[in-house]
Amino acid sequence: MSRAIAGLPAVSPWLIAAIAVLGLALVIIAVVLLVRQRRRAPRAPEPPSLSSVWGRFVRGLPASARRDPVVVVLGERLAGKSRLVHAALEQGGRPALVAPNAPEDPRLTLYAGRNALVQEISGELLEDVRPEARDALGALWGPVALEAPLVLAVLDVRAPSWSPGGLRRLGALVRDKVDLLTAMRGSPPRVRVCLTHLDEGAEGFTELAALARDAGHTAALAPGGRLAPELSAALAPLDAQLYPGLRALPAAPMGRLTRFLAGAGPRLLAELAPFLEPLLGSRAGPAAPSLDGIVLAGVAEGGEPDLLGDALAIEGAAVEQDARALDRRRKRAAVAAASVVAALLLGVHAWHGAAVDHAGDAVRRFEAEVKRARRAPQRSWTTDAPAREAEAAAADALGAALRPLWPPLRAAFPDGKRDLARAFLQGIRDLYLVPAAQGPDRTRRVYALSLLYASRDDALGRRILRAPEAWAAGLDVPARMVTDYLAWSERPYAGAVAPPASDGAEVSLDDWQRWLEKLEAAMQRDTIAPDELAALQDAGQALSGSADGALEARSLEDVIELLGEARPGEIDAFLGRGAAEQRAPRWVSENWDSLEALLGMVQRASLDVPSAQGKSVRKALDDLAALGRADPGEADLAYPVVIDGRPARTYRASAWSTLVLASRAGRYADAFVGDVRATGRSPFFVRSTDYPAVGAGGLRLRGPTKSLPGTFTARAVQAEVKPALLALDAALDGARVPEDSRAALTGLVREELARYAAGYRSALWDYVGSFRLDVTSPAGLRVDLEDMVGPASWFTDFWATVAENASVDPEGNADLGALAEALAPFQPVVAVMTGEKGKYPALDKYYAVIAPMLPSLDAAGPASPGPAGAPLEDRLPPIGKLGVAVLDVDEPAPLGQVNAWLDGARVLDKALRQPFLAPVELTYALALQSVERTVQDAWRLEIRPIVAPLLGRFPLDPRADAEVSPDELLAAVGPKGTFRTGLDQLLSPVCKRGSGGARAPKSPAGFRAVKVPGEAIELSSWADGVAAVLWDDGGKPRPIAIQVRPQPLPEVRRGARTVATRAFLRSGEATVFGFNQAPSWQPLPVAWWTSSAAGVGLELSSPDGDDPVLRTLEGEGSAWRFYRLLCRASMAPEGAVTWPFDPVIGFDIQPNPWALIVPPEHRGRRCVALVARN
């Protein structure tokens, strides 16, 4: 905490004076305005406050009565409060003392008597609920709250307010005032209720009051609660107490008294319940008061007061309890006040301690800076800026800590303050005074020793304070350092300073000549090394000290005299005897102007360069340019030096400046190259996080899924790469970077530029390649495409990011040209994205192709497979109709249009074309999927079931027993059969017929073919073939046209009893015979639609001339008998059919009868009978 306070600035006395003047001016202005206001509108005097009225009243009382308990009387106007108080005071035997200094204030009437003070609050003030009234009562009761144990509430039984509503309102008003007093007391006072004017409002009360007075009864009524039954029973205890007096009453008073006790009295008390309910009930806020009895009063004007109960009686225990509470409150207030005072003192002391801590920190920082500065060459000690700043800060902190504005604080922390001052002075001695006192310059020794051994109040100190600027200039330190040292130097420095070692012989001419030759040799080279410059500076400093030591010290004679008086022995050791008469060699004097300029030129030179660690090329070039700006160089002056009459040597200051600048620039360039090589970092960027990634992908996987790294963006190029490359040669020329260092730096830059360009190109390819448009429904694709072609297009943003970051203007720079060349593949995109104000005319042509596809992505349309028997187009939703449309390669289609647009825009690279093609290809894919789904469902659910039952019957399935009837086959696969018609409607839009009539799936130009069920294509070709074989174009059946060639009959074997002489094959009325003559092909029309007979036979003849024998096989069944006959034969793959006669006979049949009618799925099957036989 103390350190935090110490960080606050010290308060200046001038600031305090300024604030005081400003405050006085504001007070004067306020007074003037107030006077003018009063003159313009005089106001009536305001009434005195209630607290002031009370104060005057109390001050007018005897001292013994001023601490009496206070009774607060509340009641509405004309309730009889004043007469009741007077009667109650007189009841105690002493008259009331009313406001001895008697200000006429209608709000408050004050009384004193019976060891009590009475505050009668007016009815108007009781009913005043404004905050002003509450504040006035708070000011009145605040000082006496714990001295007011009783509140007397006065009610007039004959007033209009004596009604349930009026009493409830009065109870609430009294409760508000009681709560205010409770809040100030900390505990509720007791409340006593007094009913007045009973002598007028209740017959028999006068007799009761007189009887009670005679009996000495003064106690108030004590009801058992605040409810009506409990209140009405409060008079009951009086019967026993007053019974002896009742017997002495005459009959008429007795009757009135009895009626009061039995009727009017209990009724009046019961009617008091609405008043007590808000007064004594619990509610939020202060605790509720308790009832301290009920007093009945009849105080007629000018008559004897009638009281039943003592209205002003106060219990001693309550007074003592309040007195103890008041005493505790006063003790707490005293403790609080003392705590506040102690806290203020401790706070001030803590503040001062914090200031001392702050001063200690400042002095320690100064000591640390002294140690740091002393590690550098001594020539830089007096000019070390951080040390100077630390000294000034320490002096300011000491001033605030050791000389605070409040004098008592100056005696605090004496030891710590003394140590701080000593440490501060020692720091000045170590850094400035002792080195100067031990240096070669005797004049500086005089200045250093005189300040070192001076104090604030001695003769040396007074002499220095007359001209502190001279000491500051002589020591090359700020003037305030001189005054700061004397300000805290209470007595002269008692320590000893070792005198400088004797420099031996005078510096010779050879020393000067060697130094000049080294200087000349250095200036002949391009650069100078740091150690070489340091050697020149050290030797030059020694030569300069030799010359400076011979300067006259006449202006400091009085100072030397004072030093001699103070420290005579040390003066001789430091200054030497007769030092003021020593002179430099003659030739030094003759060339002193040139020598002094050369010495200063060399001493001012520095090869220090800023750190190149972690910097970018652009910042490095800025640093190189800053090297020249920070050191503008020596003026182009020539310094001739003549030694021993030989020709003058001339040294040009501009050549020295060029040498130093080139050396510094070379050191910096080498450091930069070394840092980049060592760390392997990019030389173009300090932190990659300075350039955030761009082009982040959005939601729903549309657009890029990767970001373009920030270092590979146009912003990074414009901010870092481009300025560096454009400024490279000029910056190196301006900084005079040596050739070797320049070659290393430019080689590094170009090497890293090639790597950066490759990375840039790769990052752009990655960004473009990350493009995704992953949508699985037409509705989702429509949303994406609508957003794509809309004003805020994500697709436009994607390509704008590519174009913006792929555009690099070389501006004639070869290095930037290399970067632009690396990004050349993206230039077609840059051309497409050329536009103004977010409008891209070339891209709009692409959108003009995309937009017409949007209606096709409408979700409306029939569900697959669509209406039964309908053409394929009528079964499809809009996306499916688009799929059928793009299958027509003769019509313009979006994919072809996009490819043509890309070709025209020279966007030829596949990776760049893909994002443009993706929306169209995805639309094509969804369109073809819709077509494929509908075709598949229609084929599976509608078309194939037409022919499926027939495919399992003979002869379509050679193994089947049941036959397909010609009519069924005609109805299904005939020229107008339902299967062929439905299949043609389904496949014609999606398939094309080849040269042989076979169907093949269509494909959009440049896209995959539509997927059609292979079985549908196969059965389509089969049905076409069957229809062509079995019917003519009009649907009329025709015979199956086959060609038959008989095979040769078996040869006649010797000794055979029979010889095969003839074979035949018959179908209907057509028969083909086979003889042993050369066989030939003969037509055999097969009538398949009737039950025409079909058979095969062999005629055998006997060599003996017996009658020939005929053996036959007949086909069975209704139709298809010829195929049944084939089932009884064996058929070779080449078409040879043989029947099992003895001997075997055969015929060659073409084409294969089975191949003409058996569907693909049953090809290769053989008849069941033949299988069984085999």
770-810 pLDDT tens trace:
998 888 888 888 888 888 888 888 899 999 999 999 999 98
Q: Are 1024 and 980 in contact (CB under 8 A)?
A: yes
917 half-sphere exposure, CB direction, 13 A CA radius: 19
1090 with 1011, same domain: the answer is no
Which of 314, 333, 352 marks a domain boundary?
314
The count of structural domains within the chain is 4
Q: Mark whether 120 and 244 lie in a shared domain.
A: yes
942 and 1053 in a single domain? The answer is: no
290 secondary structure, DSSP code: E
User: Which of 1038, 1070, 1085 is the last residue in one of the domains?
Assistant: 1038
Neighbours of 324 (CB within 10 A): 11
pLDDT band at 632 (very low <50, low <70, confident <90, very high): low
744 inside domain: yes
Q: What is the mean pLDDT of the chain?
A: 83
Report the run of H or E that residue 325 belongs to, with start and end: helix 316-374
For residue 1170, the model assigns a pLDDT of 46
Dist CA 516 CA 512 (whole Å): 6
Residue 362 belongs to a domain: no
Q: Identify whether residues 997 and 1097 lie together within a single domain.
A: no
Residue 812 lies in a domain: yes
For tokens 């972690």, name the residue.
614
pLDDT of residue 1040 exceeding 90: yes
Task: Give the residue from 1136, 1124, 1095 showing the smallest Cα distance to 1112.
Answer: 1095
Residues near 511 by Cβ (< 8 Å), separated by ≥ 6?
539, 543
Residues with Cβ within 8 Å of residue 1103, at least 6 apart in sequence: 1056, 1057, 1059
Does a structural domain hold residue 28? no
Share of the chain above pLDDT 70, in %: 89
Mean pLDDT score, 1006-1018: 93
* 3-class DSSP assignment, residue 777: coil
Q: Cis (ω within 30 of 0) for the bond into 683?
A: no
Residues 98 and 168 in one domain: yes
pLDDT band for 560, please (50, 70, 90 cuts): confident
The span from the CA of 224 to the CA of 214, in Å, is 26
Whether residues 89 and 189 share a domain: the answer is: yes
For residue 1150, give the H/E element and its range: strand 1145-1150
Residue 908's nearest CA partner among 842, 845, 825 is 825
**Residue-level pLDDT at 1171:** 39
pLDDT of amino acid 6? 39
Query: In whole angstroms, what separates CA 237 from the centre of its chain?
Result: 81
- Among residues 270, 413, 286, 295, which one has the least CA distance to residue 353? 413
Q: Decide: 697 and 706 in contact? Cβ < 8 Å.
A: yes
User: Domain containing 941: what range?
Assistant: 860-1038
- Do 298 and 209 share a structural domain? yes
CA distances from 1171 to 571, 1115, 1125, 1129, 1134 (A): 144, 17, 14, 10, 19
pLDDT surpasses 80 at 403: no
Residue 151 lies in a domain: yes
Mean pLDDT for 240-245 is 69
User: What value does the mean pLDDT take over residues 980-989?
Assistant: 91
Helix (H) or strand (E) holding 1094: strand 1094-1101
Element (H, E) at 821: helix 814-822
| 1139 backbone dihedrals φ, ψ, rounded to 5° | -110, 155
Which residues on adjacent β-strands are paired with residue 1139? 1145
* Contact yes or no for 969/981 (Cβ under 8 A): no
Same domain, 999 and 1047: no
Is residue 688 in some structural domain?
Answer: yes
How far apart are the C-alpha atoms of 654 and 597, rounded to whole Å? 13
Residue 956 lies in a domain: yes
Q: How many angstroms separate the first and last alpha carbons of the chain?
A: 115
Q: Which residue has the tokens 């080849």?
A: 994
Token pair 């008259």 is found at 95
Share of the chain above pLDDT 90, in %: 27
Hey, what long-range contacts does 410-413 have (CB within 8 A, 24 or more apart)? 412/349, 412/352, 412/353, 412/356, 413/352, 413/353, 413/356
> 884 and 741 share a domain?
no
CA atoms within 13 A on the CB side of 1014: 2
Domain presence at residue 452? no
The per-residue DSSP string of 682-693 comes to -TT-S-GGGS--
Shared domain for 898 and 965, answered yes or no, is: yes
Give phi and psi for 394, each to the nearest 5.
-65, -40
Most confident of 292-306, 343-357, 558-572, 1072-1086: 1072-1086
Distance between CA 1020 and CA 478 in Å, rounded?
A: 110
Say yes or no: 1033 and 1062 in one domain. no
* Residues 443-499: tens digit of each pLDDT: 788 888 888 888 888 888 888 888 888 888 888 888 888 888 888 888 888 777 877
Looking at 803, 836, 869, the residue that finishes a domain is 836
Coil, strand or helix at 1085: strand
- Tell me the pLDDT band of 10, cut-offs 50, 70 and 90: very low
Q: Which long-range contacts (CB under 8 A, 24 or more apart) does 86-93 make?
A: 86/305, 87/297, 87/299, 87/305, 87/307, 87/311, 88/114, 88/307, 88/310, 88/311, 88/312, 89/113, 89/114, 89/118, 89/312, 90/305, 91/218, 91/305, 91/307, 91/310, 92/310, 92/312
- Cα 614 vs. chain centroid, distance in angstroms? 29
1151 shares a domain with 1102: yes
